[in-house]
Structure 1
């Protein structure tokens, strides 16, 4: 079957929700064009410093590959990789090393930070403390909020205009559905709006309209070497359950993931948004409430140093 775009080359990928068939060349161009449209001219321009959260996985490295291509020719603009080592024995070092190798191959500046240096404990230690105290705390929950806090600090230190996160369409749909199901309107509003605080670097999600399978396909086509092993804690997450449900819906009804994200974005204008963020009473950093989530977790574990 011929490619639906160029009408010349043989197609290798059928996009179920659109019915389009892509040859390899047109598929790569399509992904880049979609990311460029997502970011827009107000972000892809001169005098920009973009921090990129790099894990070493396919999503973050595909994002970095495309952003590097966009910003390299632009005067007075640059990108910097921000790598966080959470401290997961037998897993995390491989991802960090893949991220470093990628940055060195493409001549991208990078900085590395660890959970240990920021909060005094690595993730494995936090999980052990929670287990010893018989606390039912999902590792992914406190890992995510700590990592986001560290990335924000790193982006501030590097004077970044934006912090790019490699969330794909699947990630977005999962996050939205998790908050819908939990009835957490406040988190839904936060998910869709930037915080208004000089200590918070605005986030961009270049891959938010790209399904995970297409990110993977792009990475493999361009032979981007990425960390493939899943996090040992990921199977314990609520997100994994939601992911299975959404994948099943997508299989039966192509385009479901796009519909979830599109519907949420239309709903955003009706969600209440706090104009100003609070400051955590313990760490004095931006927070949606009196105590930030990181300090809340550390307090619950009995290891908060104030």
Structure 2
């Protein structure tokens, strides 16, 4: 059985889409400078209601920190060469063709992992315009759907056998489960060290991740776990539990994942699965093939 653990940054964006938000410019002078959160090697796009003036749009002190700013009609494209230091703030002044000046301050992510980098920010001065109201409405609907999905997930987890098994595994009570250790793989990058234990069960398979945060400043968080069929890439359901939602620098934690044997069947045929773990910034942290034999006969 082939086992691979890729504990390295493979992409700055996970499979569930980028981080897009709406920014409505305030008329209050106290709120004149707006913060944009950026991350090294991740592109951030600011999109305005009207074209920008390239000659009067400036990023101060960008040399050695950013690629040259791109001005494409209504869009300003930013790409940091590296993560900004915690105390860094890079001023950006965008001037629209109308002469309106909009100041921003580019900031690094919160070291505690409280947010994701801005990948697209839709900026509106006219709060009453159709585009502004439509963008704000889309943000609200997206948040509502996310909350509804979360509530539904919690409801199902209350009575789920697989989630109960995952809770036992994450607590270290392996002997109280039907699982037996099958194999183990390990991986490490500059941000985390991960040991993955693969378990064989009767009609179920399980994976337990032991994560150690190696980053001296930033917390480690799991953004999402994705399970897909090897042959067709179709998503499959899984159950997981974690000892903590966030790991501070130097801290360790455990994530347990349980998969039912039905997930290994695709269009009536037995198939293998691929387990992908994405961390808080969207980077692919772990990639593990799961052979169908793990779920038993």
- Shorter-chain TM-score bucket reads under 0.3
Greater share of strand: 2
TM-score normalized by the length of structure 2:
0.24
TM-score normalized by the length of structure 1:
0.23
Greater share of helix: 1
